[in-house]
Structures are given as structure tokens and as C-alpha cells.
Amino acid sequence: MFLFFFFPETFETVIRQAENYTISLFRTTYRNMAAEASTAVKELFTDIGLFVLNSELSIEESVHRFFDALFPLVYNHLINPGLTDIAVDYSECLRMARKDLSPFGSIPKISVSQMVKSLVPSRIFLQALNLGIEVINTTDHLQYTKECHRALLKMQYCPHCQGLTQSKPCMGYCLNVIRGCLASMVEIDPHWREYIRSLEQLSNKMQETFDIEKVLLNFHSLVNEAVMLAQKNGPKLSVQVNKVCGHPSRKAGQSSDQVLDTSKEKILPKVTRPDTEETLSSKRNEFIDSLRLYRTFYGAVADQLCASELAAPDGLSCWNGVDLVKR
């Protein structure tokens, strides 16, 4: 059941990959603002990673904060470029006005909706995995009672007193002893079965709604659409910005050496999509399939121990706790 421990790393890999896709968009398509935009991108995906790992963050606020930070960059480099960057206070005014001016249309709201619908189930899924890990770790270090130790000692070694060093306990005798020793583990069985059933349902739900991998790895496309929309509506936005923030005030100093890209079509950077068998969804399905094999683990562990190791096979003589008998 190693996938319990592997799965969180897979989530982290997808998040980092989506972050790299988005940073690559700016480095290849919007180079003038790439350095500043990278900071906002990294902050957003750091928040996403923390949220999935159960941090008390608001994804809605994180996404809106990203687009708030993006608007001054788009305005400065694409809509109203100048010889120097806009002043800090003017940039802050643009950031504060972003929601009201809506330069990116409905894309921020779409991003929030997709993020929430994909990240919340993923967060719950990881919480459930952590619970499973706790159960496994707890049952892996069970403390046996003195009565259990005595029963095991009697079952394994009492035949030796009669010179029966090669004999094994009968199946019924073995089951009585081992089930008694593992009584607390057997009590877990119905809860463990329900736990696996719930994970199956949650996994199916994650496939029916927005898949986290598709949402995150497509985020850079939404960002590109948002930037192009703002650039397309640049003249109208400039008028609105002038009313809210006044005419642009710029930093004194050297030229920012901006090169205005006036092309309307922005070509997305080529990104390498993961092979189908390597997707997060396929890994999740693989995990659920492997977990199903352990559905009866806690209820059947005594039977497995006796049948595979401790008890005598059918047809052979065995020790019943008193004598050697033929079964």
C-alpha cells in the first residue's frame, strides 16, 4: 500500500508543472512582464499547494489576488506602455480597481469556479489518505496482551513437550488464538471497508467534476485569454483607468527598454503534456484498484496468517491444544 505515501507527491508534481506552464507563458509570450508576473504566479501556486495540504486559505481570494497583481503589469506593458514603469502608487490604484474595471472579463470568476470545484475534492482526498496512513501506522504497532502471549506460546511450543517438534496447530485452534490476539484489529474491519467505499465514491466524484490536473494544467491558457482580452479592450480600459486613477504617473529614471508587442494573436508556448498512463487521474485509479485488494484485510488477517504460515494444511496431523489429531 505504498501508494498511500506516493500520492501526495503526485499532487505536488502536478502543481509545480502547472506553475511552470504559466511562467513559461510569460517568458515566451509576454517577456517584458515575465519577471514581475513570475512572482505573482509563484505566490498563487504556493497557495494552491498549501490549500490542498489542508491550510486555512481561501482559493477564491488567492486567484483574485493573482489577477489583481496581473492588471498593473498588463496595463504598464501592453495597454499604456511608456519609457519608464508606472509609479508604485499608480500601480496600487490599478490593483485595487481591477474588480470594478473587469479588464479580464469573466475569466477570473471562471478560474475561481474551476479551482474550487477541483481543489476541494482533492483536498478531501488527501485528508482521507492521511487518515488511512494513521490507521495503518497505528495497527502496525499493536500491543498484545499477556493472555495473547500465553496463548501463542501454548499453541506454538506445548507440542514440543511431547516431542512433537514438527507439528503445527489445527486450523480451528489457530483461528481461535489469532482472532483473540487480533480482536482490536477485527473491530476495525467494518470501518475500513466503509473507508475504502467512501474513497471510491470520492474518486468517482473527482472524475465527474473538474479534474484537478486538467484545471491546473490549463490555467495558463485562461491567463493568456485574460491578457489578450485586456489588450483588445485597451483604449476603453485606458479611459476608465483615467477616470479612476488619473493619468499614468511614471517612475523617474532610465528607460525601461520596453518593446511593445502589438500583435493581437498570442501563441501559447508549447508544453509537453504527460502521457495518459502518467496522469494524476490514472494514478488515482491505480491507487483505488490496489486498495480494493485490501478491502477485507483487517477482517481476514487472522485467516491469512493461519492459512499461509501457522496452521497445518488440510489432511495432515495437527495439534489441537491437547493432542495430535488427524484432520
Q: Along the 327 residues of the chain, how does pLDDT read in single tens digits?
A: 444 555 667 888 899 999 999 999 999 999 999 999 999 999 999 999 999 988 889 999 999 999 999 999 999 999 988 756 788 999 999 999 999 999 999 999 999 999 999 999 889 888 888 888 888 777 777 777 888 989 988 888 887 777 777 788 899 999 999 999 888 888 888 999 999 999 988 888 887 667 888 899 999 999 999 999 999 999 999 999 999 999 887 665 544 444 444 444 455 555 555 543 467 778 888 888 888 888 888 888 889 889 888 888 887 888 888 888 876
HEC string for 24-83: HHHHHHCHHHHHHHHHHHHHHHHHHHHHHCCCCCCHHHHHHHHHHHHHHHHHHHHHCCCC
Cα separations in angstroms, 108 against 59, 64, 314: 12, 7, 68
- Nearest CA to 99 out of 76, 119, 70 is that of 70
Domain boundaries along the sequence of the chain: 3-142+188-276
Residue 178 one-letter amino acid: I
